């Protein structure tokens, strides 16, 4: 899985780069072998004026083709990255047929198939 990070209207620090890479690997989790690339675009809309203006846009390219996207806005880049990658991770899991039970276990979902019933004799 390749991770690409782009920054717009600010300088990307090593600390933020490491945070994004770590969170991307965590968000994709066990499905990372089925993900070709994670592109994270970060933008500071208002610049030095502050406010809830840090945007993280995540695009995920799957190995079997297909593309998923997620976006989040927050007052900090770390918050926006965390939320966007969490959304992207859920979208990847749903797209590849995995859901999570309330106890946290991952369950593979498959199309429903009726059970074979014994034939009446």
Has residue 119 been placed in a domain? no
Q: What is the domain range of residue 42?
A: 2-101
Has residue 114 been placed in a domain? no
| Partners of residue 37 on adjacent β-strands | 2, 61
Q: Is 73 exposed, middle or buried (0-12, 13-18, 19+ CB in 10 A)?
A: middle
Q: What is the CATH number of the domain that holds 86?
A: 3.30.160.100
Q: Are 3 and 15 in contact (CB under 8 A)?
A: no
Question: Which residue in this structure is represented by tokens 């966007």?
Answer: 84
Model pTM score: 0.75
pLDDT in tens, the chain (121 residues): 999 999 998 899 999 999 999 999 999 988 889 999 999 999 998 776 767 789 999 999 999 888 999 999 999 999 999 999 999 999 998 888 754 454 555 555 444 444 555 566 5
């Amino acid at each position: 899985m390749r991770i690409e990070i782009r920054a717009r209207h600010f300088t990307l620090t090593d600390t933020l780069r490491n945070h994004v890479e770590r969170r991307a690997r965590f968000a994709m989790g066990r499905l990372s072998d089925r993900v070709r690339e994670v592109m994270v675009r970060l933008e500071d809309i208002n610049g030095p004026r502050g406010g809830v203006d840090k945007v993280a846009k995540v695009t995920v390219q799957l190995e079997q083709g297909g593309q998923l996207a997620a976006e989040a806005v927050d007052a900090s880049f770390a918050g926006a990255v965390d939320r966007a990658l969490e959304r992207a991770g859920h979208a990847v899991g749903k797209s590849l047929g995995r859901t999570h039970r309330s106890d946290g276990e991952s369950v593979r979902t498959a199309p429903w198939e009726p059970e074979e019933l014994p034939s009446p004799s």
